Amino acid sequence: MSDILTVEGMQTYIGQFHILEGVSLSVPRESITVLLGRNGAGKTTTLKSILGLTPPSEGRVVFNGEEIQGKRAYDIAEMGIGYVPEHRAIFRNLSVGENLKIAERKNGDLERRSHFIFDLFPDLKRLYHLPGDHLSGGQQQMLAVARALVPDNQLLLIDEPSSGLAPVLIEQVMEAIRELSASTTVLLVEQNFLMASQLGENYIIIDEGKSVHRGAMEELVEDEALIQQYLGASVSKAGGER
């Protein structure tokens, strides 16, 4: 059992829109896997469907050997999946400390992990008592990642951590993700191809709601034609705001 997560033929409707028309992927343990694809290809929906926020109508999602499709999102998260949504969705009306505290699943989670978290993001310790909306964009992104590290998560779903951040901050976030991938598995959605190619060990390309390609990142970097076919637009804009 080397894959922590396997998805087979996942289909998802949002309202009457058929967003995912068959996504299959697998995420090996203790690695970073990157979901690539154009805007609107269905990458975010893929993460949300795995977590049950937009429940898939068909297909299988297997986490740690257990089928989780159709479960409630909170039950799925409880099994050990952390989610870092795009646009730095922290709780702006809660303090930094509360943003971390709310992610506890057992009493004392934060205390146990605080060393690890504040080593990774020293800023957050300083800002602990400030309300979330006083934080800068980069600090908010770090808080969103840190929040997912409070409980014992075995898999982190991270959605576009670089979007809207200045290059120097992207560097910092990348470093943090690389560091934490030593102990957890990461499934990452990333538009910034440079960042994706440097972080990811494996990739999955999603196009028009279907997973169309997967493999090792090293091979993809060499394959200009493939990149051009599925990612052309987003590569040329790499690093910029969407």
Partner 1 sequence: MNVRQLWRERNAQLVVAAILIALSVIGWTAMGQKPFIRTLLSGLTLGALLFMVAAGLTLIFGLMDVLNFAHGTMFMVGAYAGWQFYTNPTFLFGLAPLVLASITGLALTPVLRKLSMTWSIPERWRRTLGALLIVGSLVVGLVSVLGLDIKGLAETAMVPSMVAADPLQEATPQEPLATFWYRPTLALLAGLLLALAQARPGDRTQVVHREEVNRGLALAGGLFVLTIVATLVREAAPLAVLTLNANVRFVLCLLVGALIGGGLGAVVEMGLIRPLYERPIFQVMVTLGLAFVLTEVIQVLWDPLPYQMSRPPLFSQPGKADSLLAWFSEHTTTVDVMGVTFPSYRLFIIVLGGVMLLGLHLLMKYSRLGMIIRAGVQDREMVEALGINVERVFTLVFALGAGLAALGGIGAAPFIPVEPVMGDRFLMQGFITVVIGGMGSYSGAAVGALLLGLARAFGDYLALKFSLTPAISEASTVIVMAIVLLVRPAGLFGRKE
Please give the residue ranges that form the binding site for partner 1 (CB under 8 A): 51, 53, 70-75, 77-78, 83, 85, 89, 91-94, 98, 101-103, 105, 147, 151
Name the minimum Å distance from CB 65 to partner 1.
16
Nearer to partner 1, 153 or 211 (CB): 153
Nearer to partner 1, 109 or 208 (CB): 109
DSSP 60-101: EEEETTEE-TTS-HHHHHHTTEEEE-GGG---TTSBHHHHHH
Nearer to partner 1, 92 or 178 (CB): 92
Nearer to partner 1, 90 or 217 (CB): 90
Closest CA to 216 of 8, 34, 22: 34
Contacts of 172 (CB under 8 A, 6+ apart): 138, 142
Q: CA-CA distance, 7 to 58, in Å (whole number)? A: 11
Nearer to partner 1, 101 or 237 (CB): 101
Closest CA to 190 of 148, 136, 242: 242
Name the minimum Å distance from CB 122 to partner 1.
23
Name the minimum Å distance from CB 200 to partner 1.
23
Name the minimum Å distance from CB 98 to partner 1.
5
Name the minimum Å distance from CB 96 to partner 1.
13
> Tokens 């479960």 correspond to what residue?
71
